[in-house]
Amino acid sequence: MLKYVLGLDGGGTKTEVICADEEGNILSQGVSGPTNLSAVDKETAGLNFLAAVEQVTSQLVPDSSCEALVFGLAGVDTPDEVIFARDFFSKKLTQIEVKDFTVINDIELVLAAGASHPDAVAVIAGTGSNCFGRNQKGQTAQTSGMDFLLADEGSGYEIGRKVLRAATSSYDGRAAKTELETLLLQHFQTDSFVRLKEKIYDPILSKAQIAELAKICGIAAEHGDEAAKKIINETVDELFLIISTVVNKLELNQIDMDVIAAGSILKQSSVFDPLQQKLKNHYPQLEFKFLEKSPVYGAVNIALEKL
């Protein structure tokens, strides 16, 4: 009998999945749509979850056994949300039986995939933002990770929201002209702000759609646009704050530690490089590195530990 584990990383833009055998050898992997319950409706999230699982299990031999499934999910920030998500998604698994089904916040996957030190902090800045750390005493701390109304500083959503307002201020004369105004109209394929309003509100943009506007900000900042550069600088400051708060809570200020970064916003050198420098200035013993592999590998690592 083939025994295997499943690791999933569910976000507001996509869901990655890996199927591995008991030795950690990858059998198959796939990608489906978003499963973050705060970014898409439940029906869509459920279908995307099922599609991800079926992608990697449909070709397995009939008597295969799923020993553990670890689902790192963005947007599950409280114990009640974890319980709800586990109950909801487990009911979608009608074709296979899973012996151990675990739902955790996706930030934990980053630590599991990239930290080589017992004192470590993980930070995600993608559609949303989150920061989580653990020290060698087993203590943990977290900042942000309370979704877009309560937190998400330094995220793609936060950048996108600022782009919308900076472009509007440029349009109506409350601020100096910015390239963001033109780029925003181009993004939505319209030639006027009158028509732009319809595209923004009818239907209203989703969190993920607003986060996509972070790309516009990066382009304008590279061109030297002052409004875009201001947004990028604010993003760096916000990310530094959520990281340093976790570092201070765990008393890692003078200790060698890893800070593992993940997410589309931290892939941008305009954010990563100044953030790395600012962290080094305050914590010289810190190693700040971008997670080169996908966080979904962290889900596989955690699943294998359950065997």
Q: What are the extents of the domains in the chain?
A: 3-105, 113-291
**Mean pLDDT rounded to a whole number for the chain:** 96
Are the CB atoms for 204 and 161 separated by under 8 Å? no
Count of Cβ atoms closer than 10 Å to residue 137 Cβ: 10
Tell me: pLDDT of 208 over 90: no
pLDDT tens digits, 173-197: 999 999 999 999 999 999 999 899 9
**pLDDT by residue (tens digit) across 262-295?**
999 999 999 999 999 999 999 999 999 999 899 9
Please say if the pLDDT value at position 210 is more than 90. Answer: yes
At residue 47 the predicted structure's pLDDT band, cuts being 50, 70 and 90, is very high
Topology (CATH level 3) of domain 3-105: Nucleotidyltransferase; domain 5 (3.30.420)
> Which pLDDT score, from 0 to 100, does residue 13 have?
86
**Same CATH fold, 113-291 and 3-105?**
yes
CB 37 within 8 A of CB 49: no
Q: Is the pLDDT of residue 67 over 90?
A: yes
Burial 69-105 (b: 16+ CB within 10 A, else e): bbbbbbbbbeeebbeebbeebeeebeebebeebbbbb
Buried b (16+ CB within 10 A) or exposed e, 175-189: beebbbbebbbebbe
What whole-number distance in Å separates Cα of residue 164 and Cα of residue 111?
A: 33
Report pLDDT digits (tens) over 218-229: 999 999 999 999
**pLDDT, tens digit (0-9, with 9 covering 90-100), for 230-256:** 999 999 999 999 999 999 999 999 999
Mind listing the pLDDT tens digit for each residue in 91-103?
A: 999 889 999 999 9
| pLDDT of residue 30 exceeding 90 | yes
C-alpha–C-alpha distance, residues 109 and 301, integer Å: 9
pLDDT at position 12 is 84
pTM of the model: 0.89
The domain 113-291 having CATH identifier 1.20.950.20: the answer here is: no
